[in-house]
A and B are shown apart, each in its own frame.
Chain A
Amino acid sequence: MKDSFFRSMTWLHTWVGLLTCWIIYVIFFAGTASFFRDEINLRNQPAIHNVQAQTDRVAAQRQQIIKGFDYLNQHAANSPSWRITLPEERIPYLVYGYAKPKEPGQRRSQFVNTQLNPNTMQALPPFVETKGGNFFYRLHYQLYYLDAITGRWVVCFASFFMLLAIISGVVIHKRIFKDMFTFRRNKGTRSWLDAHNLSSVLALPFHLMITYTGIITLIFMLFPYPALTTYDKGMRGFFNDVTPSNNVTNNAQGSADLLPINTILDHVYTKWPSADITRVQVSKPNMAASTVTVLVSPAKALRDQSPRLLFSGATGKLVAQTDDELSSSKALYESLNSMHTGRFATPLLRWLYVLGGIAGCVMIGSGCIMWAKRIRERNKGKASFGLQLVEGLNLATIMGLPLATCAFFIANRLLSPTLAGRGEKEVTAFFLAWLVVALMALLKRDRLQWRVMAAINALACLSVPAINALTTQGNIVSYLLNKQWVLFIFDAVFLLFSILFLVQTEKLRTASSASKKTANNLTNNKKRQKHD
C-alpha cells in the first residue's frame, strides 16, 4: 500500500491498533481477571470462606459420590437429571444437584443445588446470588448487554486485529533485543514508546500465544466451512465424530433401578487407578435408558476436554468414552485451547499468565495514550474531534475499568443477601461506575481529570478490603493469621493497586507542575501554551 513493506506495516500497526485498542483492552482486562475465576467465585461467596481444603481430597471422592447417590435417590428419584460436582483444588465445596422438570419455554431446566462442606458433610449456609468470576469470564469472550453470538463475533474480529497489530508490530520493530533493556523515564512520548515496547517485547510470546489461541477457542463459529464441506451432516456430524459420548442414544423404555454406583466406580478406578473425578452426571435416573457420565480432571495434560466415561445406568455397561490417546491434529487443537484457558496451570504458572495479561494491558494502554500524545504534540495543542474522541475513550477505558471492578466487588458485599436478581445488580454496579467515568471523560480529558480519576481509583481500591472487613467476619489480618491465602491475596492485590493509583496521583501532580514550568520558560521565547 505504501512505498515499502516497512511503511505499510507501520501504517497498518497504527490503524489496526487504534481502531480496536479499547475493546481489546476490555478483553485483556477481563481475561486476566478470569485466570482467577475460581478465586473470585470464592471471594464473592462468604458461605465458603471457612471451608478448609481437604487433606485427602481424591481419596474421599468415592464416599462422596456414594453418599450423593443416596441423597439424590431420596430427594429426587424421578428428576430428569442429577449432577454431583466434587471439590477441586481451587473449589473447596461439594455440590449435589438435581434438575427440576423443564417448564414450557425454558431452554435448560433449573437445578436445585445443595452445597456441602466436604470435611463434615454438613450443608453449608445458604449461598448468596452472585455472578462472581463468571462475570469476567463471559465478559471476556462475549461482552455484555449484547446477544452472545454477536458479542463473540465482535471479540473474534477484535482479537484478529490484535493479532495483526502484534505481527506488524514485530515487523516494524528494528531493535527488538535492545528494547528489552530500554526505558527512558520522564521523556514525554519517548517514555510512552519505551513502555509500549518494553511491555510488548518482554511478553511477546505470551501475547502471540494468547491472541492466536483465543481466536481458536471460537474457531468453529468463525470458520465452520471445513466441517460443513467434509461432513454430510454438517457441524452436528463433525461434533458427533469428535466426541462420540455426545451421540449416545439409548431408547430403552420403562423404569429400571440404577445399578449401585459402586460397581460403576470400580470400572473407573480399574481404568484410571488415580482418577481425580470432577463430576458425575446422571441422565434419566432410575429409567431403563439412564446414563451415568464420569468426568475426570485432565490434570497436567494439555487437554481442554475432560476425559470421561459413559455408562448405562441400568446395566453398568461402558457405552462411550473419550479417546485415551489423541491423534496429532486433535492434540494440536486441544493444546491450543488448553493453553488459552490455562486450567492446567499450577499457582506459579497461573501468576505468570496473569503477569502476561497485565503486560498486555500496559501494552495496549500505552499504545493508545502514545498515539493521542503524538497527535497532540504535532497539532500544537489544537484538538480535532478525532483526537478528543481518542483521548476520551482512553480515559474512560483505562481509568474506568478499575473503578467498575471495585464497584462490582463492593456491590457484592453491600447488596442485601436476600435481594432478588442480586447477581444482575452487581453487574449493574459495574457498568454504572464505568458510565460515570465515561461521562466525566466526556466533560474533560486533561491531566487534572486523569489525576482526579487516579485518586478516586485509589480510594475505591482501598475500600474493597475495607468494606469486606466491615461486612464479613474476616479481614485481611485474620486471613493472614488463618492462612486463608486466596482471600488474603485478593485483599492484598487491591491494597497494592490502591498504592499504585496513589503513586500515579502523585506523579501527575509533580508532572503537571513540571510541565507548567517548562511551558513558562517557553512562553518567554514564544507564546506557546503548555501542551498538556
Chain B
Amino acid sequence: MRAPLHIAPFTKTNLAALLKVAQSYRVLVFLRFIIAIVGGYAFTSACISLLSVLLPIAKQDAVLLCVSISILIYAAVFIYAFSVKSLKTAWSSILLSTGFFVAVLALLKGWL
C-alpha cells in the first residue's frame, strides 16, 4: 500500500515520491491509452476536417471521402501511440500535429 499522497503536505521528498508513482506502470499505460484514444480522435478529426476543406472536389464528395478513410487514420494513430517507445514523443507528436492542422484550418476558415 502506498501512503495517501494527496493528504501529505508538499515537500521535496513527497514530490519525488509523487513522481515515482507517476512513473509507475499503471499510470504509464493509462496515459498511453489517453493519448491513443483521445489524442487519436482529435488528430483524426482535425486531419479529415482540414482535408475535406482542401480537397478540390465537390463539397459532399470531399466529406464522404474523408469520413470513409477516417477510421484508417484513427487506427494508424492509435497503433503509432502504442508503438513509439517514449511516451513523451507520442504525446508531443500527436498534439503538435493536431494543433498544426487546427491552426491551418482556422486560417483557411477565418475563425481567428
Contacts and interface: CB of A to CB of B under 8 A. Distances in A.
B64 A332 contact: yes
A229 B70 contact: no
DSSP majority for the B interface? helix
Interface in A1-31: 1, 3, 5, 8-9, 11-12
A223 interface: yes
Contacts of A12: 79, 82
A329 B65 contact: yes
A329 B68 contact: yes
* Most interface-central of A3, A9, A230 (chain B CB within 10 A): A230
A241 B57 contact: no
A163 interface: yes
B67 A216 contact: yes
Contacts of B66: 226
Interface in B40-67: 44-46, 48-49, 51-53, 57-67
Interface in B70-112: 70-71, 74-75, 78-79, 82-85, 87, 105, 109
B83 A229 contact: no
A164 B70 CA distance: 14
B82 A8 contact: yes
Contact of A168 (B45, B46, B79): B79
A330 B52 contact: no
B74 A160 contact: yes
A328 B74 contact: no
Contacts of B105: 229
Contacts of B59: 230-231, 238, 241
Nearest to A3: B85
A1 B58 CA distance: 41
A441 interface: no
* Most interface-central of A5, A216, A329, A330 (chain B CB within 10 A): A329
Contact of B45 (A215, A223, A238, A327): A223
B9 to A, nearest CB: 34
Contact of A238 (B48, B63, B84): B63
Given A329-B65, A333-B64, A163 B75 contact: yes
B63 A163 contact: no
Contacts of B82: 1, 8-9, 11-12
A229 B71 contact: no
B62 A329 contact: yes
Contacts of B70: 219, 222-223, 226
Given A226-B62, A226-B66, A229-B109, A1 B44 contact: no
B79 A241 contact: no
A332 B60 contact: no
A332 to B, nearest CB: 5
A40 to B, nearest CB: 30
B63 A227 contact: yes
A300 to B, nearest CB: 22
B45 A225 contact: yes
A479 interface: no
Nearest to B40: A160
Given A219-B70, A226-B67, A333-B68, A164 B44 contact: no
Contact of B75 (A9, A160, A336): A160
Given A8-B82, A229-B105, A216 B61 contact: no
Contact of B68 (A164, A216, A230, A238): A216
Given A1-B82, A219-B70, A226 B49 contact: yes
Nearest to B46: A225
A212 interface: yes
B71 to A, nearest CB: 5
Nearest to A163: B75
A492 interface: no
A226 B48 contact: yes
A462 B54 CA distance: 60
Interface in A302-360: 327-330, 332-333, 336
A154 to B, nearest CB: 14
A212 B70 CA distance: 10
Contact of B83 (A1, A227, A231, A328): A1
Interface in A180-214: 212
A507 to B, nearest CB: 38
A1 B32 contact: yes
A356 to B, nearest CB: 19
Contacts of A227: 52, 63, 67
B84 A230 contact: no
A225 B68 contact: no
B75 A164 contact: yes
A230 B58 contact: no
A164 B74 CA distance: 10
A330 B32 contact: no
B72 to A, nearest CB: 8
A227 B53 CA distance: 9
Contacts of A330: 60-61, 64
A470 interface: no
A493 interface: no
A328 B46 CA distance: 23
Interface of B: 32, 44-46, 48-49, 51-53, 57-68, 70-71, 74-75, 78-79, 82-85, 87, 105, 109
8 contacts: A225-B45, A226-B49, A226-B62, A227-B67, A230-B49, A230-B52, A333-B67, A333-B68
Q: What 8 A-B pairs have minimum CB-CB distances, sorted nearest first?
A: A226-B52, A329-B61, A329-B65, A333-B64, A329-B64, A226-B66, A225-B49, A229-B49
Given A216-B68, A223-B70, 8 more contacts: A1-B87, A160-B71, A215-B71, A225-B46, A226-B49, A229-B105, A330-B60, A332-B68
